[in-house]
Structure 1
Amino acid sequence: MSNSHAPQSQKISMPGPGFRSFEKPKNASRTFTRLIRYIGSNPLKLFIAVTLIILSSLAGVLATWYLKPLINGIKEGAQLSSLATSLLTMAGIYLASVILAYVSNLMIVKIAAGTSNCIRKELFEHMMDLPVNYFDSRSHGEIMSRFTNDVDNINMALEQGLSQLITSSVTVAGVFVMMLLLSPFLTLFVLLFLVVMLWITKTVGKKSSLYFRSQQKSLGELNGIIEELIEGQKVIKVFQHEQHAREAFRKKNESLRQSATEAQTFAGILMPIMGNLSYAHYSVTVMVGAILAINGRMDIGTIAAFLQYTRSFSMPITMIANQFNTLLAALAGAERIFEVIDSPVEADNGTIRLIQKKEGVNMVAGRNDESSALHQLAWEIETDGGIKSYVPLAGDIRFNDVTFSYLPEKNVLKSVSFYAKPGQKVAFVGSTGAGKTTITNLVNRFYSIDSGRIVFDGIDITHINKSDLRRTLGVVLQDVHLFNGTVKDNIRYGKLDATDEEIIRAAKLANAHSFIMKLPNGYDTVLSHDGTSLSQGQRQLLSIARAAVADPPVLILDEATSSVDTHTEKLIEAGMDKLMQGRTTLVIAHRLSTIRNANAIMVLEHGEIIERGSHSELLDICGRYYELYTGATELA
């Protein structure tokens, strides 16, 4: 991009500025409630799974009760048949509990997978509607971490934590009731230890929550710097910045190590503390129970059953404490995801749509070249009274006193005015940061202007539906992005319903057909890793073919030949010349030799047009353009 004023994503030399501070959730309960709505997207399946979990937990609690009559029966010399009945009953209940738990876990796994799928889908769909400036201030790694780390944390919490939390809660409640029935006095000791456990869980959990959020932030930053450094390997090696890259990575990696160590330290100490407390609690209960039994105030069967319930009571609390950290990580991830989902989408109040020309309707005056398929479309304008009028699609673009700034009080464009009539070629030259690329971004409505008007075919572009507006624009950028897939698929990206014949015709128009046919499988050759097996010129020719197959009335060429050799430049120029015929073209030029035949050349400096005219007219006035063309000065 030629405009240095535009907000950029994270740079290799300055990792981190694009990241926002990761604050403590303002309303964790609201995040949890919102997450529950995703989990409950299939209420019947969730209801059945929860019911089975509850039944499985209650069955386990009930089976323990049979220890009392079984042990007392052995002590009192009961009949073997009576003991066998108790044993079989207890075994049957345990077996039922295991089967119910197995089935419920399978359903929970499916619910977790479905929930993650739903969240990931909504996140991606919303991301597609976010404005360009959202991505300007965030690295790709930070955004990608929402789809990977954060969604994975939610999935893990649902798969492992949901069933355990329900099981533990039901078990604790059921066991507590059973303990009260067996011995209210011993239950008092259990409650005292429970208060201590809850206090420790709350204290440690507070610290753990803070460090887990810090860990998530550090992980996202590390992913971002890794992606940037991998993508920039050539740049790093050319400028011999390997040591600088190592240092940048080391800092982010060390930050993750520190936050992860702190998070896992608190997560790790919780289990031993809770485990030792449960052992202490068990020992105290044994001693008190033994004293009661010696004094004849409690039978052995009751003590045995109560002790088993004691273990069943403390273990679920320990499990809840263990899953607490997983839940915190999931909530932190969910909050980061919801931040993206809640980000304002790209505003579009445009109501004027692009339609196929209708027979028997009057067209507002405008270019109407019936010989070209480009001009078989029209803008449909409907007045407040419901009356419709139609303006033929022509490609007339005008800037009227346009002022724009990416940042407040730092104008990139200052009262810029120019026009490009249908079929004209208008070129922009100027130093880096002069505002050339910004002009093309504004035509696409990637950003909203501060003042002035941009008019397309006599219509203010803010009144045109953005999707329909962008359908009329074909863009060829300096930096070409190719997708994983065949050559044919990459050209078809310009028009998804293009036939093979249209693709070949577009490739020939772009002068790409010759080199494509020399590839191993021609148009079916698979490209990967952004087409790194192709030269820069070949990738650029494919980009031109992609624009050609879309058959747009307006072309935007952003320094499309600045990074190729002279021979390839001539091929690209020839392809672009054929593509530009009959189309309105805005050209950002680095090599001035490519724009000599432009209808008008605009020289920009500091966001203002300081010279305008044809190539010969600008040479005659011996101004800035003359200095650039003759080599007296160079583009900065």
Structure 2
Amino acid sequence: MPINTFREDEETKEGVKLPMLRRLLRYLIPYKKSVLKVFALIALILAVQLFNPLFLQVGIDYFIDKTQNIPGLLAVGALVVALNILSMFAIRLRLREMAKLSNRVLYQIRQDLYEHLQTLAFRYFDERPAGKILARVIGDVNSLKELFNQCILTLLPNLVKLVCVCVIMLILNVKLALFALLIVPLLAVGLIFIQRRAHRGWRLFRKKNSNLNAFVHENMSGIRVVQGFAAQGQMNRNFNGLIRQQRGAYISAVRYTDLFWAFVEVAWGVGSIIVYWAGVRMLDTGHITVGLLVSFSSYLSMFWQPIMDLSNFYNNLVTNMAAAERIFEVLDTEPEIQDADGAQVLPPIKGEVEFQHVTFGYDPQVPVLRDVSFSVAPGQSIALVGPTGAGKTSIINLISRFYDIQEGTILLDGHDITQVTLESLRSQMGIMPQDTFLFSGTIKDNIRYGRLDATDEEIVEAAKAVHAHEFIVEMEKGYDTDIQERGGRLSVGQRQLVAFARAMLSNPRILILDEATSSIDTHTERLVQAGIRQLLAGRTSFVIAHRLSTIQQADQILVIDKGQLMEHGTHGELMEKKGLYYNLFMAQFLRVG
């Protein structure tokens, strides 16, 4: 899939509505008791509604028109009032239960979506902005709440009500019932026509809304760059353009959506005129009584009301089905990197690493590494050097199996890393990526992220080892000092030291440092290097560093260029060869000098 930005609409597949609706309703299965309770309340409410017109007919025809029995009329009225008060309490209880039920279901959908996203490979996140993913987890899931409410409170009850009303009308008078149903086929054709166009409109709106969300997320994340280059004006224009696109898509979708109610109301009016015209003629000929006509008129309203409610539900279904499609599209995305069938738990490792003829590309058609082979003994420190874009970071990404290779084999203590579980593989590695990321919370919490069961003493020990302890204790609350997302209150060097302590705390057998000291001043770097030597004793380590002066003590230096391993050896051996490493080192030495 090509990389998607906030400027481009996401490619989504249109799902089939009924199977997708059934899939949504399956989330109700764990809450069968709550659903049955709601249905019981709905049945009580529906029964009262259906009997009300019959009581009205009995009161008119038997207690007013024929006998003028006032006490009997009052008794019927009292019964009607009592039943409707009971129905009112049932309605309130139904709404409360439905609110609890829908919130539980949305919680489960959001949890499933979030947990599935955690299993997806880096490639999935490389290809789309974080804001578009966030739009699915938050906005699209929220939009399903009304859909669930309507499914239980509108769809099934109104279908039952519509069938019951039709049966009662046919029992009361077949001719009047047929006149009432005369307009329904034309209504169905019109609603299908409107639905198709409304659904396309709402799918487009979801895409435009996702673009806007992605832009805002990206803009807020890069606000320092925006303000640093005085680019607020351009950002405002971009935002305004995306807002106009979203508004245009929304207005277009709403225009079709609003036709639902208008079409149903027109059909309701025309159908009522037909029934009243026929009813008055039948009343004149004596085929029906006044009470029956009044009762039938009430059932006529009860016939059209569920049709109106069902059209509203269908409208809501069309509006929010686009959100369901986007949610299930993520849930149906198979994790690219996952445990193989029969994968074994990787036992505690010594740290032997071997690449055998490895070829890899983020796009399989464009290799980043070509036929790379090398071996690393347990406990060795390995430095990866080479020009930018040579493939150094790709090598350490493959060791952790963040991506799968196209050709070759990667062995860890003789185990093919594709045949062991991801958890057992990555839990034995400590990784400090080039892009240092800290979470909002305390400094202590961020260091503890390396090992969640670590004690406070172990956290302090790790911080001292990388010389982060000194600046931490000088802060207002020490280790309990709150920092913002990405460590906004800390300098770049301080953020890297905290992240370095986090990696050290995990006590890994293999330690991976990607440009770990790139933003630390020379004095602090010397202190960190001393801590590294102490903590790396007995561990295999891979270090990427542009400062070649920092990796002279490495047991082995791998020189990567254009995706190939060009040279390897110690610093002294490579300097004697006077090859690529020698040229890189001398160019940097002369530049520094």
Place the TM-score, normalised by the shorter chain, in its bin. over 0.9
Distance 1:429 1:449, change over 3 A: same
Question: What's the CA shift string for 1:333-380, capped at 9, x where partnerless?
Answer: 22222222222233213744345xxxxxxxxxxxxxxxxxxxxxx4xx
Partner Cα separation in structure 1 for residue 405 and residue 499 of structure 2: 28
Return the match for 2:469 from 508, 513, 516.
513
Distance 1:526 1:237, change over 3 A: closer
Pair 1:163-2:119 in alignment: no
Partner Cα separation in structure 2 for residue 352 and residue 303 of structure 1: 77
Pair 1:622-2:578 in alignment: yes
User: 2:174 maps to what in 1?
Assistant: 184
User: 2:356 maps to what in 1?
Assistant: 400
Partner Cα separation in structure 1 for residue 344 and residue 54 of structure 2: 74
Task: List aligned pairs for 1:402-421, cutoff 5 A.
Answer: 402-421=358-377
Task: List aligned pairs for 1:194-209, cutoff 5 A.
Answer: 194-209=184-199
Pair 1:456-2:412 in alignment: yes
Compute the displacement of 1:487 (Å). 1.6
User: 2:260 maps to what in 1?
Assistant: 270
Pair 1:432-2:388 in alignment: yes
Question: What's the CA shift string for 1:518-575, capped at 9, x where partnerless?
Answer: 1211112222223211111111111111111111121111012223444444444343
User: 1:470 maps to what in 2?
Assistant: 426
Q: Among the aligned pairs, what percent are the same residue?
A: 35
Question: What's the CA shift string for 1:370-423, capped at 9, x where partnerless?
Answer: xxxxxxxx4xxxxxxxxxxxxxx3212121221112212211101112222222
Pair 1:150-2:101 in alignment: no
Return the match for 2:29 from 40, 48, 51.
40
Return the match for 2:270 from 267, 280, 301.
280
User: 1:62 maps to what in 2?
Assistant: 51
Pair 1:603-2:592 in alignment: no
User: 1:348 maps to what in 2?
Assistant: 339
Compute the displacement of 1:153 (Å). 1.8
Task: List aligned pairs for 1:237-256, cutoff 5 A.
Answer: 237-256=227-246
Distance 1:69 1:463, change over 3 A: closer
Please identify, of 545-554 and 594-603, the stretch whose mean Cα deviation from structure 2 is larger: 594-603
User: 1:213 maps to what in 2?
Assistant: 203
Compute the displacement of 1:147 (Å). 1.6
Partner Cα separation in structure 2 for residue 94 and residue 166 of structure 1: 21
Please tell me the residue identity of whatever aligns with 1:423.
Answer: G
The runs of at least 4 consecutive aligned structure 1 residues that moved more than 6 Å come to 632-635
User: 1:582 maps to what in 2?
Assistant: 538
Distance 1:586 1:276, change over 3 A: same
Partner Cα separation in structure 1 for residue 591 and residue 112 of structure 2: 49
Partner Cα separation in structure 1 for residue 549 and residue 315 of structure 2: 63
Compute the displacement of 1:273 (Å). 2.4
User: 1:294 maps to what in 2?
Assistant: 284
Compute the displacement of 1:510 (Å). 1.3
> Any conservation in 1 of the 2:359–2:407 contact (CA below 8 Å)?
yes
> Any conservation in 2 of the 1:397–1:457 contact (CA below 8 Å)?
yes
User: 1:139 maps to what in 2?
Assistant: 129
User: 1:50 maps to what in 2?
Assistant: 39
Query: When you count helix as a share of all residues, which structure comes out higher?
Result: 2
The alignment partner of 1:78 has SS state of coil
The alignment partner of 2:351 has SS state of coil
Distance 1:56 1:79, change over 3 A: same
User: 2:516 maps to what in 1?
Assistant: 560
Distance 1:501 1:21, change over 3 A: same
User: 1:370 maps to what in 2?
Assistant: none
Partner Cα separation in structure 2 for residue 534 and residue 300 of structure 1: 83
Partner Cα separation in structure 1 for residue 272 and residue 320 of structure 2: 33
User: 1:231 maps to what in 2?
Assistant: 221
Compute the displacement of 1:247 (Å). 4.1
Compute the displacement of 1:447 (Å). 1.5
> Any conservation in 2 of the 1:71–1:301 contact (CA below 8 Å)?
yes
User: 1:373 maps to what in 2?
Assistant: none
Return the match for 2:6 from 11, 15, 18.
15
Compute the displacement of 1:77 (Å). 6.2
TM-score by length of 1: 0.87
Partner Cα separation in structure 2 for residue 451 and residue 234 of structure 1: 42
Please identify, of 70-79 and 514-523, the stretch whose mean Cα deviation from structure 2 is larger: 70-79
Return the match for 2:321 from 325, 331, 351.
331
Compute the displacement of 1:240 (Å). 4.3
Partner Cα separation in structure 2 for residue 529 and residue 8 of structure 1: 29
Compute the displacement of 1:71 (Å). 2.8
User: 2:437 maps to what in 1?
Assistant: 481
| Unpaired stretches in structure 1, ≥5 consecutive residues | 1-6, 356-377, 379-392
> Any conservation in 2 of the 1:403–1:414 contact (CA below 8 Å)?
yes
Pair 1:631-2:587 in alignment: yes
The alignment partner of 1:222 has SS state of helix
Please tell me the residue identity of whatever aligns with 1:61.
Answer: L
The alignment partner of 1:406 has SS state of coil
Partner Cα separation in structure 2 for residue 629 and residue 94 of structure 1: 89
> Any conservation in 2 of the 1:54–1:166 contact (CA below 8 Å)?
no
Distance 1:424 1:308, change over 3 A: same
Compute the displacement of 1:313 (Å). 1.1
User: 2:489 maps to what in 1?
Assistant: 533
User: 1:309 maps to what in 2?
Assistant: 299
Distance 1:552 1:265, change over 3 A: same
> Any conservation in 1 of the 2:14–2:325 contact (CA below 8 Å)?
no
Distance 1:230 1:510, change over 3 A: same
Task: List aligned pairs for 1:85-124, cutoff 5 A.
Answer: 85-124=75-114
Partner Cα separation in structure 1 for residue 42 and residue 294 of structure 2: 26
Please identify, of 424-433 and 542-551, the stretch whose mean Cα deviation from structure 2 is larger: 424-433
The alignment partner of 2:183 has SS state of helix
Compute the displacement of 1:9 (Å). 6.3
